[in-house]
Structure 1
Amino acid sequence: MGQRKVVVSGGGTGIGRAVAEVFAADGDHVVLIGRREEPLEKAAGELDAAHGAGTASWVAADLSDPGQARRAVEFCTAGGAQVDVIVANAGGNVAPAHDGTLEGVADSFRRNFEANVLTAVLLTEGLLPHLTRPGGRIIQMSSIAALRGPGSYGGSKATVNAYTVDLAQKLGPQGITVNAVAPGFVADTEFFGDRATPEFVAARTKQSLTGQAGRPSDIAAAVHYVASPEAAYMTAQIVHVNGGASLGR
């Protein structure tokens, strides 16, 4: 398999950074997209240093904004370049609490919809005309929260699941697979911020049947397989990587 072009949103830190690493180690060219320039530049520099100059490129964009998403797509496809793999990883629980008013509830759902649904949909739809046919791979980043909440974040990830299945049905005849990877609790990321106290981490880890937290590399390995030629018969799937926590404990 020759070098592929892999676009990873949210690629500067955490799971996205680990995803970029596993593709770069395979000899692929990785395009990192995120809102913050500094982590993107740092990650791209590290990937180039580890795997050779020109391994990674980056563009800063808020993918919930159509204009910025369009600019990111233009960067990824400059000169008529094709894209082989899309990993729509940007997002997070940007509204973990609200004040209980209807205005607060609306703001919570709206913000998480923009952060998790629009960032995935606008990037994916923008890159679709440039995706390799046959053989293209689209991986959406879902979450165990789509099954277990919390509300506005879980609802946004459930929408990502629905979008994944709908897109898989449309693109299957073109030889493109569309799947989602749904992590459980993953340590060593910025996702939980100040909420990640020792007690919080211990409680989340205890939900796993294996008694351990996930690592960004665990999720990256699942994404890498789903994007591989060997996964050509796998589409419209929600791949859960959560240590069995989805069973409930």
Structure 2
Amino acid sequence: MRTAVVTGGGTGIGRAIAAELVARGLDVVITGRREDVLEAAAAEIGARAVAFDAADPDQVDAALAELPSTVDVLVNNAGGLAGGDDLKSQWLATYEANVITAVLVTAALEPRFAEQARVVTIGSIAGRRGGGSYGAAKAAVEAWTAELAFKLGGRGITANVVSPGYIEDTEFFGGGMTDQRRQTLIGQTANGRAGTPADVAATVAFLTSPEAGHITGQVIPVNGGAHLAR
């Protein structure tokens, strides 16, 4: 059985990805900082939970004993908006949450990657369209992934970014989404609707499948056409 690790897998997009991979027959471990949330999600979707802070090198190292000895799929989903008391702390916290988490977990698990393994990191439409510290962090994810694809490619391992646009039913906006803002974001799409976690999960599932072996170093938008991949 193929094994998968999904960071930030307790809620929203990460949970949807984990559930989709379980449904496709993978043995899935979900990670995150909130043990109670992880345990509840794992029980409901048929995964296993390992709680740790992916931005903390010591916690990542300590968690390795509980993570699979062979990893076929790694999905770096941990991230999101981060606050701070001032401009510097906000930018550092956002970079840590979205870039450092992916780099640390990927580096720690790299010796365990199976041949033909798959690495997918969740980016954002903000990485191409702006968005302050968050957009800058997601742009950095794209640059890092491009290098990672060449680093791992000799083993048949792929590395890609899935870049969502506006996705509903997540904790991302923390209840701060107004009706006007929602309609503006939906109005930017070609198909006239918000995205769902299931939309992202289906794309990730394909990229992590054996059939996607010649797709690597790419940024795959899932945004209803709000930002065309040209």
1:33–1:72 contact (8 Å) kept in structure 2: no
Match of 2:150 among 137, 160, 169: 169
After superposition, residues 237-248 of structure 1 pair within 5 angstroms as: 237-247=218-228
* Secondary structure, counterpart of 2:175 in structure 1: helix
* Secondary structure, counterpart of 1:84 in structure 2: strand
C-alpha distance in 2, partners of 1:197/1:190? 14
Q: Does 2:56 align with 1:65?
A: yes
Cross-structure match for 1:88: 76
Q: Cα deviation per residue 1:91-150 (whole Å; 9 max; x = unaligned)?
A: 00113xx7xxxx8221121010010001111000000000002x1000011110001121
- The alpha-carbon deviation at position 71 of structure 1 amounts to 2.1
C-alpha distance in 2, partners of 1:178/1:74? 24
- The alpha-carbon deviation at position 27 of structure 1 amounts to 1.4
Match of 1:150 among 119, 131, 136: 131
Q: Cα deviation per residue 1:143-199 (whole Å; 9 max; x = unaligned)?
A: 100011211000100110011000001111111111110000000100001211222
Cross-structure match for 1:201: 182
Structure 2 alignment gaps of length 5 or more: none
After superposition, residues 85-234 of structure 1 pair within 5 angstroms as: 85-95=73-83, 104-133=86-115, 135-234=116-215
1:182–1:240 contact (8 Å) kept in structure 2: yes
After TM superposition, the runs of 4+ consecutive aligned structure 1 residues lying more than 4 A away are: none
Greater CA drift, 64-73 or 223-232: 64-73
- Paired residues, number: 229
Match of 1:29 among 19, 27, 30: 27
Q: TM-score, normalised by structure 1?
A: 0.89
**Percent identity of equivalent pairs:** 47
1:66–1:122 contact (8 Å) kept in structure 2: yes
C-alpha distance in 1, partners of 2:37/2:2? 23
Structure 1 alignment gaps of length 5 or more: 49-55
- The alpha-carbon deviation at position 232 of structure 1 amounts to 0.5
* Secondary structure, counterpart of 2:193 in structure 1: coil
- The alpha-carbon deviation at position 70 of structure 1 amounts to 1.3
C-alpha distance in 2, partners of 1:195/1:203? 14
